[in-house]
Amino acid sequence: MVPGRAANPSNVRRVEKVLTEAKFDALFPVRSVAYSYVNLLRGIAKFPAYCGDYKDGRDADAICRKLLATSFAHFVQETGANWSSLTPAQARTYPDHNNAVLATLPPDTPIEMWRQGLWFLRESGYEEGSAVGAYQQCTPGSHATNWIFYPCAKNSKGQYIDYFGRGAKQLSWNYNFGPFSDALYGDVNLLLDNPGKVADTWLNFASAVWFAVAPQTPKPPMTWVIDGTWKPNSIDLANNMKPGSGATVYIINGGIECGGGGDERPQVQNRIAAYKKMAEQLSVTIPPDEPLGCANMRGFVQGSAAAVQAYLDKDWSWVNGKPATACKLVDYQMPFSLVTPGDYKRCVDYFYRGQVMYNGQIVVDNTK
């Protein structure tokens, strides 16, 4: 990926237009050097729906600005240094954070918290090869299917490794690393076996972009919330689910940060503060009625306008007095997806006629 190249994909050229490298550096002056502008563009290039084109009159540039502001606010919460007294002089003592822009800033003036994003590549408290049983569904029976279809790697001691947060979005859990790996390489195992690549390579941004565009029915992709594709129905409205930054928080970490009423949790307050600043910097006008928090949101549920039938499950019905032997479309997440070539056959094989291998052994055998 070469910035400014005329042959760059249209969504990349749009990002280059609304976010120059100088602006990127100004917004993230203490970022790890692994989070480069080129890596951001490379990650965006892989997923055309991020800052993509619209043929129905929607303002693609305005949507892109808002999407970037929203994404960047989440980066601040997920990866920020959160060091209130951090100065450029202090940041420059860390070789992995000594960006050229720091030399242009007053050396002893603390850097605002909203500009401290992209400091961490990995979740604090973990290191590659750790195996404390966190962020994993690895052992047989730990989940109906995730341990089979997103098999965990093991460390040198033969322990299942942890899929803790890595990259700008802090992608976590084997059931996210597997689908992301499949989306990029057509192989779930590549990143399940090498999760560190999501921290140390251009995948640190690509993982965040993938998460923003990937449906997780009944939750919509973040892009649908921002570009207006998701239009809440009566079920959504009854659950206080409305388009805005707050709904994207629910998509990312709703189970921990949202719901329950009362004041917004500290994490959400940080996201809101960063979003307001990022929006200002990227010339985004926040509507006065946009829900920024999620304390009063009750979540995306079955029947939501975002609950599209994009996955495949066993058809439990009966046909002519006999059990069906096919798979059917469903609006909840399964390992089998309409968007993945060959998944219908995998679904039928798994439930009816095939064999499923796990760590070299047959764990499901429908051929007998």
Expressed as residue numbers, the domain containing 336 is 311-365
Query: The CATH number of the domain where 270 resides is what?
Result: 1.10.530.10
Residue 199 lies in a domain: no
334 with 293, same domain? no
Residue 103 lies in a domain: no
The model's pTM: 0.94
**303 and 335 within one domain:** no
The residue from 291, 308, 325 where one domain ends is 308
Per-residue pLDDT of the chain (368 residues; tens, 9 = 90+): 899 999 999 999 999 999 999 999 999 999 999 999 999 999 999 999 999 999 999 999 999 999 999 999 999 999 999 999 999 999 999 999 999 999 999 999 999 999 999 999 999 999 999 999 999 999 988 887 888 899 999 999 999 999 999 999 999 999 999 999 999 999 999 999 999 999 999 999 999 999 999 989 999 999 999 999 999 999 999 999 999 999 999 999 999 999 999 999 999 999 999 999 999 999 999 999 999 999 999 999 999 999 999 999 999 999 889 888 899 999 999 999 887 888 998 899 889 887 776 667 777 787 76
Domain count, the chain: 2
Domain assignment present for residue 147? The answer is no
Is residue 320 domain-shared with residue 302, that is, in the same domain? no
Residue 179 within any structural domain of the chain: no
Of 188, 173, 120, residue with least CA distance to 342: 188
Tokens of residue 303, six digits:
């029947």
Catalytic residue among 78, 123, 257, 264: 78
Virtual torsion, Cα 189, 194, 198, 199, nearest 10 deg: 170
Q: Is 128 part of the annotated catalytic residue set?
A: no
Q: Do 219 and 295 belong together in one domain?
A: yes
Together in a domain, 326 and 361: yes
273 in a structural domain: yes
Q: How far is CA 76 from CA 15, 82, 105, 302, in A?
A: 19, 9, 20, 31
Q: With respect to residue 241, please indicate whether it lies within any of the assigned structural domains.
A: yes
For residues 282 and 302, membership in a common domain is answered with yes
- Pairing state of beta strands 318-319 and 361-365? unpaired
Residues 225 and 304 in one domain: yes
Residue 133 CB neighbours (<10 A)? 12
